[in-house]
Structure 1
Amino acid sequence: MNFLHILFTISMVAWFLSEFLYKNILKSNNNDRKDKDRSTLNILWLAIPFSIFTSVMISYNTKLPMVTGNWILYGGEMLIITGIVFRFAIIRSLGKYFTVDVTIRRDHKIKKEGFYNYVRHPSYAFSLLTSLGLGLYLNNWLSLVFAFVPPFLAFTYRIKIEEQALVEQFGDEYIAYRKKTKKLIPFIY
């Protein structure tokens, strides 16, 4: 096994462990308004493992390469690591306001600085970057589709539910913030 495959294995374990820890440590508590999630956490926990497993299995059982050469492996791995690291940094920057379920904390405020100055959901954006990196690393067109599309659809649903809760809580303040920012990709989407 070469260095890149070892790094890939380590990054996949780190990705899984970080998400597992977030899910088990960063849930809402009894003082929070928890009635807003609409099973989006469960949907994400079905979509993402499904996409990882399916995309890897497809890459082992089909040959639909996107490119020749190993450079795509390095690019994919770089996106995986970037996604994991920046998602962690964003979660840390939100501090007590980050929960894995859609929740409004008692003293909740809209974060508008840092990455939030450009996109409303940078944590989801970097999670999707990790999924995109996986698809590129596998260098298989069908794997790319399965690595990216299920999480994208799950996050799209979650964003809809989360933004409904935020508009309900913050009203015009969140609507004005939403008009100035993009959902996931700065200046684009």
Structure 2
Amino acid sequence: MNLSAAAVGQILWVLGVIAWYVIRYPFERRAKRVRIVTNRRSFVDMVGLVAATLGLAVVPGIYVATGFPEAADYPARMWAIAIGAVSFFSAMWLFRRTHKELGKNWSISLEIRDKHQLVSGGPYALVRHPMYTSFLLMALGQAFLLSNWVVALAGFVGFALLFFLRVDKEERMMLDSFGGSYRDYMDRTKRLIPYIY
């Protein structure tokens, strides 16, 4: 059987999304057992999460399942699929590392947990928000793996809404919780892309 480049891209995207869920699930279960001491969830926070879910899972999932919107397709190329695979699976590696580094401090939302510690090792030594970096890499991978302009745009828009709606609030919460330690950490790290931004 000779698979087309588009089919290979779709298979790799599905495998990547499965990997995302397999990585996230045990941390989600564990997080429910740790008491929340500060909760800054809001409607805007939820909008960001919904946007990311739509852009990085629902819209591409519909495309993979149905081919809709076919009119926005562009030709799939194996070189693009290779770039997409490296980007998406780099995102999964980083996603796993961030979860491991955060451990019991991890939360899907804007929360401080009981005995929360400032994490500044592993990928957090280079950027303050490496989990968002992994979502950016997912969006990039999605654009190369699924050769459709709507799907490519959906991934980047979903990521951007999540990031820009939450990052300032997240940093304010960390400053309120850790004060000068977090300010020093901000001074020596970038937000999203090492050495750049």
TM bucket (normalised to shorter chain) is 0.7 to 0.9
Offset of 1:186 from its aligned partner?
Answer: 0.5
Given the superposition, is the C-alpha separation of residues 44 and 18 from structure 1 closer, same or farther in structure 2, using an over 3 Å criterion?
A: farther
**More off after superposition, 30-39 vs 103-112:** 30-39
Report what 1:169 is aligned to. Answer: 177
TM-score (norm 1): 0.82
1:71 aligns with 2:79: yes
Name the CA shift for 1:108/1:143 in 2 (closer, same or farther; >3 Å). same
CA spacing shift, 1:26–1:99, aligned 2, 3 Å: farther
- The residue that corresponds to 2:70 in the other structure is 61
1:11-44 Cα distance to aligned partner (Å, 9 max, x none): 233334544x268425455732242122466334
Residue in 1 that maps onto 2:106: 98
- Once the two structures are aligned, what percentage of the paired residues are identical? 25
Separation of aligned partners in 1, 2:88 and 2:103: 23
Q: Secondary structure at the match of 1:163?
A: helix
Q: 1:46 aligns with which of 50, 67, 85?
A: 50
- Which amino acid letter does the alignment assign opposite residue 147 of structure 1? G
Task: Give the SS at the match of 1:111.
Answer: coil
Tell me, yes or no, if structure 1 residue 120 matches structure 2 residue 128. Answer: yes
Q: Deviations over 1:89-143 (max 9, x none)?
A: 2201221111222222232221222211110011121122112211221233443
Q: Which amino acid aligns with 2:196?
A: I
> Are 2:48 and 2:165, in contact at CA under 8 Å, matched by a contact in 1?
no
Counterpart of 1:168, as a letter, is D
In the alignment, structure 1 segments of 5+ residues that lack a partner are none
How far apart in 1 are the matches of 2:101 and 2:153?
31
Aligned-residue offset at 1:59: 6.6
RMSD: 2.7
Q: Give 1:147's aligned residue.
A: 155
Q: Is the 8 A contact 2:84 2:140 kept in 1?
A: yes
Structure 1 position 179 matched with structure 2 position 183: no
8 Å contact kept, 1:40–1:154: no
Worse overlay, 76-85 or 104-113: 104-113
1:14 to 15, 19, 36: 19
Per the alignment, do residues 170 and 151 of structure 1 end up closer, same or farther by CA in structure 2, a change over 3 Å counting? same
Counterparts of 2:30 and 2:191, CA distance in 1: 22
Q: Is the Cα contact below 8 Å between 2:94 and 2:123 reproduced in 1?
A: no
1:62 partner amino acid: A
Match of 2:40 in 1: 36
